[in-house]
Amino acid sequence: MPNYWQFPVVSMGLGPILGIYQAHIMRYLSARGLVPRNDRKVWVFCGDGEMDEPESKGAIGLAGREELENLIFVVNCNLQRLDGPVRGNGKIIQELEGSFRGEGWNVIKVVWGRFWDPIIAKDTEGKLQEIMDAVVDGELQNFKAKGGKYTRENFFAKDPSVLEMVKDLTDEDIYRLNRGGHDPYKVYAAYHKASNSKGAPTVILALTTKGYGTGSREADNTTHQVKKLSLDNIKAFRDKFNIPVTDEDIEQIPYVRPPEDSPEMQYLKKTRAKLGGPIPRRRKDSKVLKMPDDKSFSKLYQGFSNKTSKGIPTQYFVERFIDKVTITLYLTPGTDEAGKKLNYYYVKRIQDAGAYTNASDSPFRFVPCMVSGLAYYLAMKFAPQRVQETKLIYEDELARALAEDGSAASTYITPKTYYPNI
């Protein structure tokens, strides 16, 4: 798919930094008048564990300094990474808020879902707020992993007045109290605010539950590595999201597709049509930039004082390629310097080592290097336990041979500058 416009990266940390520099380049192009500045946004979706990678936050300061309002990060804070909890006794959302806000970003936190709103409305003395602010990530994991009864006894019961707020809720009602990242209303509000924010990049920190909707697999420490759900977990998922599959059919894991005339399918088709079809595509109506001609560099070229001067060369530039070596001299040797020589020593690849001849392409001082190099090569194939030893011997002999075969020059190296047609 040559026109696919997304940047899927599996290596953790590369996605965030690529997104930052994509937004940076887009702003650069618009600032130079090369492309129009419109409402295009770069969206970066990543996990809370991924944000511990150095690349993930390595350039957020650049985004803040340049006020990249076209950049939006969405960090899924499910409190789990591949190798275990992200934070146990800490609060990852608070840490990330401090990092991003300190670098000049807008920060939007989506922590508690709207099912909490009626309870929060009862918190006239701020007691529930205090408990919410003090809870750590390890506790949040337990509240979902161990159910509503456990949450009632270990969260709401921390204060009698807060426990009173949920007296009319069953344990199942408490378990259903959703987190912000699973509430479509809260997520929509966050996306809308981020899309209309000006003057700075924006990050959305959304609290979610690993394995959301999978029954007993929710928030379990092993959920990240689960490859297959039990039938009971699949049924729990079906029931939670009202998927129209019967008990008789569910073992086959059927693919459920809404009817073509349903509001869901109509919305999907309408939205995809605006984006160019079922597959995201990059528009081909981009303009080709015209490269400046050689005259643009004429002033720079005229500044070289020795471009046509003759005399004893004081500089040289070497271009090494597989098939040849090109040496350019500055100054250009004149007639008075015809008898002078420039000696250049280099290591040449052996061409006829296998030929039956008394002449050898290899200087005698390279023989130990060749022998130790062969030993190193054979060790990689047949004696892995000797690889490091033979490698060190080979590198030492190579360095010694090159040092003996070299020659110090009084000239110095400078880059070659070449401007055709000037």
Convert the pLDDT of each residue in 359-408 to its tens digit: 555 666 678 888 998 999 898 888 888 888 898 899 888 888 777 644 44
Distance, CA of 149 to CA of 155 (rounded, Å): 10
Q: Higher-confidence residue: 90 or 420?
A: 90
Which stretch of 7-16, 26-35, 126-135, 232-241 has the lowest confidence by average pLDDT? 7-16
CA distances from 204 to 54, 61, 277 (A): 19, 17, 28
Q: CB under 8 Å to 398, separation ≥6 — which residues? A: 369, 373
Distance, CA of 165 to CA of 171 (rounded, Å): 13
Distance, CA of 394 to CA of 226 (rounded, Å): 47
Residue 282 tokens, joined: 């990059």
Q: Higher-confidence residue: 82 or 148?
A: 148
At residue 414, the pLDDT reads 43
Residue 318 tokens, joined: 């070497």
Convert the pLDDT of each residue in 98-122 to its tens digit: 999 999 999 999 999 999 999 999 9
Convert the pLDDT of each residue in 206-215 to its tens digit: 999 998 988 8
Numbered ranges of CATH 3.40.50.970 in the chain: 14-234
| pLDDT tier at 358, thresholds 50, 70, 90 | low
- Average pLDDT score over the chain: 83
> What is the average per-residue pLDDT within 346-361?
57
Q: Is a pLDDT exceeding 90 seen at residue 175?
A: yes
DSSP 82: T
| pLDDT tier at 246, thresholds 50, 70, 90 | very high
> What is the average per-residue pLDDT within 63-74?
96
Q: Highest mean pLDDT range out of 41-55, 147-161, 311-325, 326-340?
A: 147-161
| pLDDT tier at 302, thresholds 50, 70, 90 | low
Q: CB under 8 Å to 251, separation ≥6 — which residues? A: 231
At residue 213, the pLDDT reads 87
Alpha helices per DSSP H over 214-262 = 231-240, 247-250
Q: Is a pLDDT exceeding 50 seen at residue 417?
A: no
Strands (E), 194-266: 202-207
| pLDDT tier at 333, thresholds 50, 70, 90 | confident
Q: Higher-confidence residue: 369 or 182?
A: 182
Convert the pLDDT of each residue in 28-55 to its tens digit: 999 988 888 888 899 999 999 999 988 8
At residue 222, the pLDDT reads 80
At residue 418, the pLDDT reads 42
Q: Whole-model pTM above 0.85?
A: no
At residue 173, the pLDDT reads 95
DSSP 116: G
At residue 346, the pLDDT reads 63
Q: Is a pLDDT exceeding 50 seen at residue 419?
A: no
At residue 123, the pLDDT reads 95
Q: Is a pLDDT exceeding 60 seen at residue 415?
A: no
Cβ count within 10 A of residue 15: 20
CA distances from 77 to 88, 149, 283, 366 (A): 13, 24, 33, 59
Percentage above 70 pLDDT, the chain: 77
For the chain, give me the number of helices (H) and strands (E)?
Answer: 17, 9
Distance, CA of 181 to CA of 190 (rounded, Å): 10
| pLDDT tier at 83, thresholds 50, 70, 90 | confident
Tokens 């146990």 belong to 88
At residue 82, the pLDDT reads 78
In degrees, rounded to 5, the angle at the alpha carbon of residue 209 between the alpha carbons of residues 204 and 210 is 110
Q: Classify domain 14-234 at the CATH superfamily level.
A: Thiamin diphosphate (ThDP)-binding fold, Pyr/PP domains (3.40.50.970)
b/e 324-352 (16+ beta carbons within 10 angstroms → b): eeeeeebbeeeeeeeeeeeeeeeeeeeee
At residue 409, the pLDDT reads 41
Distance, CA of 305 to CA of 289 (rounded, Å): 33
Beta strand pairing status for 84-85 and 80-81?
antiparallel
Which stretch of 18-32, 124-138, 286-300 has the lowest confidence by average pLDDT? 286-300
